[in-house]
Every structure is written in C-alpha cells, then in structure tokens.
Amino acid sequence: TTFLSPLPRNLFTVNSPNVVYTESEINTKYTYRTTLVNEVADGKFEAVPKETVYDFKVERKVPKTGMMLVGWGGNNGTTVTAGIIANRRGLTWDTREGPRAANYYGSVVMGSTMKLGTNAKTAKDVNIPFHDVLPMVHPNDLAIGGWDISGMNLAAAMDRAAVLEPTLKARVKKEMVEMVPLPSIYYPDFIAANQEDRADNLIQGSKASLAHVDQIRQDIRDFKAKHGLDKVIVQWTANTERFAELIPGINDTADNLMKAIEDGHEEVAPSTVFAVASILENAPFINGSPQNTFVPGAIELAEKHNAFIGGDDFKSGQTKMKSALVDFLISAGIKLTSIASYNHLGNNDGKNLSSHKQFRSKEISKSNVVDDMVEANSVLYKKGEHPDHTVVIKYMPAVGDNKRALDEYYAEIFMGGHQTISLFNVCEDSLLASPLIIDLVLIAEMMTRIQWKAHAIDGATTKEFGNFHSVLSILSYMLKAPLTPPGTPVVNALAKQRGALTNIFRACVGLEPESDMTLEHKLF
Ligand code: NAI
Ligand code: DG6
C-alpha cells in the first residue's frame, strides 16, 4: 500500500527580526494592535489605539496523531473514515459521471488558500495552501478509531449510511471491514427512543459512573499505545442528545460534576462523560452535536486540567450559508426582518431528530446563529429588536443523507421596499460534515503546539509561556453554536470567524493580519 502523506514542506520562511526559527520551534514577537473605546459624555466615544506585544512559540515537530470518533459507525463517522482511506491511497473510482479521485474539498485546511503577500517583482498576490501556514498534521496520517453503540463493522455501517458510491465503497471495504467500533455508553433517555434497536455494543450500566469514565480513558490510552501515537483528539459525532438540566450542586462546578458522575446522577449525559474522560486524558475533545455537553462543570474541569475543548454542532450546509448571507445582508445595510428555515432529511440523524427533545437541541443551535450580527448594527435594529426566525426539521426517509434545506430571507430595503431571497440547498450532509471533522482535528491539534506569553509595555516579560484558553473558540468557523471562554462574546459572522482563524495563524509566524487594503495598488 502506498501512503500519500506529504511531509510538511516548509513552503516559506519569514525574514524578520521578530521571527526566529530553531530546529524545534518558530519563535515570534508579535505586536497585536487593537482599539480601546472610552465612553465619554452624551453618547460620544473616544477611540484609543492599543498595542500589546506577545511572544508566540510554535512547536515544529508534527506529532503522530489519532482521531477517535464517538459515533464512529454513523453516517459522518463512516464517511470521513472512507474519505481518509481513499485519500491516503490516492484512489480513483468510476461513477456514472466518469472517474472521480479522492480529494479534501470542503476542508478549510486542505482545500483553501491564504494570501501570503504580494510578489516583490510582479506585485501579484502570492497565495499558499492553508495547510502550509503552520506545520500541521496531514489527514492522511491520522490513525482512526472510536466508539459506537452499534457494533457493526465500518464497511457494513458505511453501507447502512448509504452515502458513498458503490465503486468507492468496494475499494475501501477490505480495510473497513476490519474496523469495529469499541463498545460505548448508552443512557437511553438522552437520545431518541427510535435509536434503541441499534444499541447492541454497550458498556454495562445505563447512567454515568466513574467506571464509565475510567473505561473511556483506558480506551484512549490503548488506542494511543496500539498505534504509537503522541496525541489523540476525540470528537463527538454521535446522535444529538437532549439538553441536560443545569442543576446547582450537580453540574455547575468541576468538583460537583465529578461527584455527580460518581453518584450516577441521571442528568449527566454520555457526551459529558466522554468529555470528562478526554479532559482527564488531556485529549482535546470536540462536540459536533448541539446538546449542552459542556455544562459549566465540564468547562471548569477543562480549565483546571489545562485541556482543550471545542464545540458545538458542526456547521455544514444551511447554517454556513446563513452565517455568510446574513453577514452580507446586515453589513450591506439591508434590514433582514425574517428567516424561515425548513429542512427535511432521511438519514439516521433525521430519525433521531424526529423526537422532540432532540429536535429542541438542534433548534436552539440553529436559531442563535445571527444574534451577533443583529446586535452589532444599531442603525438597523433597536436594542432588543430581532428578525423573526423559525427552524423546522422533518424526517423524510426517501431523501436519505441528501438533506433539503429551504430558506426564505425577507428583508426591508430602501424606502419601504422588500427583498426576498429563497434558497433551495441540497446539503449532502455527511459529505459536508466530514471535512469539518478533519479540520477540527487538525486545528485543535495545532493549537496544542502553540504557546504565548505577553510583554509589559516597558518590554519586560510578564508571564511564562502558556497555552491558549481551554475553550478553543478559534474553531468557531466549523461550528454552529461556538463555545467561547466564559464571559467572552460569541462570533457567528462567517467572515469574522475565518478572519480570526487566518490571522491567529499568521500571527504565530509573525505576519500582520490579512489586509485587503491593497494600498500598493491604489497609492502610486
Ligand atoms: P448518525 O445517526 O448516522 O450517527 C450517529 C452514530 O452515533 C450512530 O452510529 C449511533 O449508533 C451512534 N451513537 C449514538 N449514541 C452513542 C453513544 N452514546 N456512544 C457512541 N455512539 C453513539 O448521525 P450523523 O449523520 O453521522 O451525525 C452525527 C451527529 O452530527 C448528529 O448529532 C448530527 O446532528 C451532528 N451533525 C451532523 C451534521 C451533518 O452535516 N452530517 C452537521 C451538524 C451536526
Ligand atoms: C437537519 O437540520 C439535521 C441537522 O443535523 C443538520 O443537517 C446539521 O445540523 C447541519 O446543519 P446545517 O444547518 O449546518 O446545514
């Protein structure tokens, strides 16, 4: 078997007194420029430019990394696995539209580029693959494993998912038949009752326990040892759970949450047990579903252990469109007055979401995605004013994984006129979600190798090197309801999320934020 996993290419170096390369690190002194605003009298403001100097340290050695998926035997789990195997082997396969070759389309890291700068001779933009900005893991190199309450091997589960072409499935089948999910924890009340018939691969016990945490920790350690890995990233791509009730004394602090698990409290969700186990193993944990896995106690636990977490809910088709379109409309000065979003889909996710409590988790994460854009525009919206927004999801088995998303955006334009935008978006759900799963793993892993320290204004170092905050809000671009460090704002606008990701990566190699001013083309 030929494995196609190019080594990091070190495609560029930064020639600056602020950037020093050693064999093991990239060390950068970076000046972060922001604007502080003081409210002065009568609703007026004073804006004060502010500079903070940071040192960033990037570990250059790319670690051997594993990805463990909770819900590995589902549509996303099987699709992303087959996709990585196909890429690793450079597979091509026939379709009725002709031959197709493996690719990573839909992955920001593997499929997009970033402007490095302007060619010194031709003045043209020089764009490089995003994957080359920092020394990142290549997805072809990921060891893949995980858990599922359904014990079907991955080849059979891939057939059950009905996502990929038969010709492609035939080429990855032999490898996938050998992949069998580890038994998982199943607390029936958290997912729809209609999922019960697939629950045949279970760790004993139907509510949270320390034994469950220990078993999952052991699974992570075993996987690491079996594949000789330096790091493991765990990701929840299992069914959407209902929200857990937030109960003081139970899940409000790290200690209370641990005690609640020990006591087998019924309000601790399986996803939270996985999060806790991953945090204790120092394996970054990402929640790809909408439920409130990260109860306050889980966030505090991550902070205490300096472990990374990210969530919630993959942002693949309809919501990605929404967070781009609403960003455009409102920043164009157009007053969006309502959004009606309908979905129908026929995969197992749709079946699970046909149950009200699980639908409610999804409704919440799909509904809050325009809040920041509305709140930021006090010209169009009075304080507290909001566009109407409705989200409907229906289970329609016939369309399978090819979710239909119908959206109507209704807006008020110049002089009382109206603009109505209707979208019909066929979201091949798992094919859109799989590259996000990859991006989340690669970026989360990268963040484990970046450290920072701040300087005082006089240049004296104030702190030892430390990690970014445990809650990786840098992952927001891939997520519908981005989790942010407690007390910090949520950004939903897609362009801002992309800007944060790009510019943090640039800062780590001592480059200024991407600027579209192009004064070099305007002032001469
Ligand atoms: P799926 O229903 O095909 O797969 C979920 C898998 O999780 C199933 O194989 C099921 O047996 C397993 N499972 C359920 N509870 C488990 C537990 N406690 N431990 C281990 N495994 C468990 O769903 P699909 O389409 O793969 O989606 C997965 C999740 O990702 C869903 O929650 C969905 O809402 C979310 N999501 C999917 C997006 C997409 O575009 N496909 C986008 C956004 C979120
Ligand atoms: C129906 O909305 C099912 C959901 O699981 C979505 O398909 C999934 O959350 C993706 O949502 P979106 O809005 O990003 O396309």
| Cis peptide leading into residue 312 (ω within 30°) | yes
Query: Could you confirm whether 496 is annotated as catalytic?
Result: no
Ligand nearest to the CA of 433: 1
Full-model pTM: 0.96
Q: What's residue 459's pLDDT?
A: 57
Count of C-beta atoms within a 10 Å radius of residue 499? 15
- How large is the average pLDDT for residues 135-151? 97
Atom 30 in ligand 1: which residue has the minimum CA distance?
A: 237
For the stretch 446-466, pLDDT in tens is 999 999 998 865 556 667 899
66 lines ligand 1 (CB under 6 A): no
Q: What's residue 520's pLDDT?
A: 85
219 lines ligand 1 (CB under 6 A): no
The answer on pLDDT for 8 being more than 70 is no
Helix extents (H) in 4-126? 75-88, 108-111
Q: What's residue 1's pLDDT?
A: 43
72 lines ligand 1 (CB under 6 A): no
Percent of the chain with pLDDT over 70: 97
* Residue corresponding to tokens 């104030």: 462
For the stretch 413-444, pLDDT in tens is 999 999 999 999 998 999 999 999 999 999 99
Distance from residue 76's CA to the centre of ligand 1 (Å): 7
Residue whose CB lies within 8 A of the most ligand 2 atoms, among 358, 362, 434, 477, for a mutation test: 362
**Strand arrangement, sheet containing 450-454:** 19-21, 25-39, 45-59, 450-454, 466-467
Angle between helices 75-88 and 166-177 (to 10 degrees): 90
Instruction: Name the 3-class secondary structure at 240.
Output: coil
ipTM of the complex: 0.98
- How large is the average pLDDT for residues 50-77? 96
Distance from residue 434's CA to the centre of ligand 2 (Å): 13
What b/e readout covers 189-213, taking b as 16+ CB neighbours within 10 angstroms?
A: ebbbeebeebeebebeeebbbeebb
